[in-house]
């Protein structure tokens, strides 16, 4: 594998890791909001 290929692979991995972090953060916020919404409905 050439250095160019290795660089591209690392760049893709970084991009995907960043995206995954964002998605996980969004998921946590969404689950929190759903929980609060359900609690308010049940009250």
Partner 1 sequence: MLSLARLVRTGSPCQPILGQGARNGRRVRDSCDSRDVKHVLSKGWRSRLGFLGFSNRRQPLIGAPVTSLLVPAESIIPASSRDLFALTKPRVMSLVVFTGLAGLLAAPVAVNPVLGFAAVLCIALGAGAAGALNQWYEADLDAAMKRTANRPLPAGRMSRQTALHFGVGLSVFSVVLMDVAANHLAAAILAVSILFYVLVYTVWLKRRTAQNIVIGGAAGAFPPLIGWVAATGEVTLLPLLLFAIIFLWTPPHFWALSLFVKSDYANAGVPMLPVVAGVSTTRRHILLYTLPMTAAAVAPWALGLAGWIYGFASIAFNAAFLILALGVLANRATEPAAMKPEKRLFAFSILYLFALFGALVADRWLVA
**Site residues (vs partner 1, CB under 8 A):** 4-5, 7-9, 12-13, 15-16, 19, 30-31, 33-34, 36-38, 40-41
Closest distance between partner 1 and the C-beta of residue 25, in Å? 15
Residue 16 C-beta: closest distance to partner 1, Å: 6
Rounded Cα distance between 11 and 18, Å, is: 11
| Min CB(40)–partner 1 separation in Å | 7
Structure-token pair, residue 12:
């893709």
The SS3 call for residue 1 is coil
């Amino acid at each position: 594998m050439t250095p160019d290929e290795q660089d591209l692979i690392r760049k893709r991995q970084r991009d995907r890791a960043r995206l995954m972090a964002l998605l996980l953060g969004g998921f946590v916020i969404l689950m929190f909001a759903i929980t609060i919404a359900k609690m308010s409905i049940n009250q």
